[in-house]
């Protein structure tokens, strides 16, 4: 919305929106520009404030923004619908193994890898176990690899997906393989038709990952994954009528997220009333009311919904309002050092890895970070271990970069996510320094720490 307001005043600014699955026509209409008006005097009047460029009028009819479609080199993809009814004796995993048998025909069919789309880590682990047992009874396919692909995997496990291989392979993935990356060598796709979508709960005041049917655009994107190297086949584990009844596009994030952060930023930038702002897809009135209510609970707005001093400070923090409120409270209670560690950890996925074939060893390695009092205290124990390990645990010499990373891997700690954790923590330190807030040198008590966290 802000960019649409800015474009008429900045003709030198070029805006390019790219995506594989958005509603391109909606964006083209939203960023429509007026055609030159035949009457130049009216155009001059409009340019001096007498007309709205977005509404046509004196500016002439609106012309949608151009849409450029860049189609990569693709091969024909045959779509097959194989709906199944779940019962005690037949479930999603059974449907997947039947689809694998159909595509590979017990090893007599064409070669090529299979990409299976599933909603989450739990479903992937269950399907992997089921497939391995199934393939072990087929002499020709016994050597086929079954590889998972989801965000919590270690970097080494994710890298296996892209390594050269000679045999057949089945990759079980979340929607990360839909647009974010391309899995090489895929000839076949099996689409379960669901994904985990982050959606805000008005009742519980938290964002939840809900398993939902994917949109038509997402389903077509999945099917296109198998037409990159040769003719492909996509098996959808739902019927064609179900596909046609799905929404054409995925709900935009603003329709399924808390608006507290959006409202806070808009008020700080003085972009006008949220209710009247020209969003591409306006949020529900209920979501706006909920956003104001959360900001009120955080002390960020007053009864007139104007920013308070707390709200003004929160708007300058590059954080979710609830996490930012924890930081402010921690500064008052002498727990800033600890809460910065926890707040940065809350901004990313758990740094602890649990490889599918080494879960017991990983749990044993992670046990030293457990704290019976609270998970927050456990997070601090993990951070302290990371800091001490970097310094060699008091030894005469510090660990080299490679030695440190090897130590993390030995303890099933994700190196990349630890790096992200440190980066976010450093950013918080910079914000704190800019505000000249004092970081406590004495350890915060259990009460100081948890009262700070409860403020958010």
**Is residue 453 within 8 Å of 375, Cβ to Cβ?**
no
Q: Do 77-251 and 254-316 have matching folds? A: no
CB atoms within 10 A of CB 435: 13
In this predicted structure, the answer to whether residue 248 has a pLDDT above a threshold of 70 is yes
312-328 pLDDT per residue, tens: 999 988 788 998 999 99
How far, CA to CA in Å, does 41 sit from each of 48, 296, 312?
Answer: 11, 49, 44
64: which 2 tokens? 């949608």
Pairing of strands 113-117, 186-191: parallel
In this predicted structure, the answer to whether residue 252 has a pLDDT above a threshold of 60 is yes
17-73 pLDDT per residue, tens: 988 778 888 899 988 887 765 555 444 444 444 444 454 445 567 888 899 887 766
E-assigned strands of 248-378? none
Spatial separation of the C-alpha atoms in residues 142 and 133, rounded to whole Å: 9
Please state the domain extents for the chain. Answer: 2-63, 77-251, 254-316, 341-454
The CATH number of 254-316, from 3.40.630.30, 1.10.10.2130, 1.10.3720.10, 3.40.50.720, is 1.10.10.2130
316-361 pLDDT per residue, tens: 887 889 989 999 999 999 999 999 999 999 888 889 988 877 889 9
pTM over 0.85: no
Q: How many helices (H) and strands (E) does the chain have?
A: 19, 10
Give strand pairing partners of 194: 213
192: which 2 tokens? 């379960």
Spatial separation of the C-alpha atoms in residues 30 and 14, rounded to whole Å: 15
77-251: CATH number: 3.40.50.300
């Amino acid at each position: 919305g802000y960019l649409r307001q800015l474009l008429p005043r900045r003709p030198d600014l070029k805006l390019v929106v790219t995506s594989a699955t958005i509603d391109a026509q909606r964006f083209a209409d939203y960023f429509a520009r007026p055609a030159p008006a035949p009457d130049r005097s009216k155009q001059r009047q409009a340019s001096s404030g007498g007309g709205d460029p977005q509404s046509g009028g004196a500016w002439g009819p609106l012309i949608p923004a151009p849409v450029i479609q860049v189609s990569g080199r693709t091969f024909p993809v045959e779509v097959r619908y194989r709906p199944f009814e779940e019962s005690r004796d037949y479930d999603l995993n059974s449907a997947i193994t039947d689809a694998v048998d159909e595509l590979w025909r017990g090893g007599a069919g064409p070669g090529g890898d299979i990409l299976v789309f599933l909603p989450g880590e739990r479903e992937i682990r269950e399907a992997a176990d089921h497939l391995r047992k199934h393939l072990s009874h087929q002499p020709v396919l016994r050597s086929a690899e079954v590889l998972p692909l989801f965000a919590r995997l270690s970097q080494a496990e994710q890298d296996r997906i892209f390594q050269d291989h000679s045999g057949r392979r089945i990759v079980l993935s979340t929607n990360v393989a839909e647009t974010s990356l391309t899995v090489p060598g895929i000839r076949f796709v099996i689409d379960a038709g669901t994904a985990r979508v982050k959606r805000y709960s008005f009742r519980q005041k938290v964002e939840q990952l809900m398993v939902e049917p994917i949109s038509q655009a997402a389903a077509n994107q999945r099917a296109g994954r198998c037409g990159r190297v040769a003719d492909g086949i996509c098996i959808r584990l739902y019927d064609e009528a179900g596909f046609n009844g799905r929404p054409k596009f995925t709900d935009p994030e603003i329709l399924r997220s808390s608006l507290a952060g959006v409202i806070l930023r808009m008020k700080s930038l003085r972009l006008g009333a949220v209710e009247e702002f020209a969003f591409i897809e306006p949020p529900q009135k209920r979501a706006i009311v909920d956003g104001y209510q959360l900001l009120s609970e955080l002390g960020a707005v007053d009864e007139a919904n104007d920013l308070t001093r707390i709200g003004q400070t929160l708007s300058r923090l590059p954080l979710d309002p609830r996490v930012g409120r924890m930081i402010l409270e921690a500064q008052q209670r002498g727990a800033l050092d600890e809460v910065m560690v926890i707040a940065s950890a809350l901004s990313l996925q758990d740094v602890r890895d649990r490889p599918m074939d080494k879960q017991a060893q990983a749990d044993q390695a992670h046990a030293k970070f457990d704290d019976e009092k609270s998970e927050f205290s456990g997070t601090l124990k993990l951070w302290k271990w990371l800091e001490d390990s970097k310094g060699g645990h008091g030894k005469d010499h510090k660990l080299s970069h490679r030695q440190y990373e090897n130590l993390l891997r030995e303890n099933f700690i994700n190196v990349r996510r630890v790096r992200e954790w440190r980066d976010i923590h450093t950013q918080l330190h910079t914000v704190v320094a800019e505000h000249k807030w004092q970081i406590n040198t004495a350890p915060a008590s259990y009460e100081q720490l948890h009262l700070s966290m409860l403020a958010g």
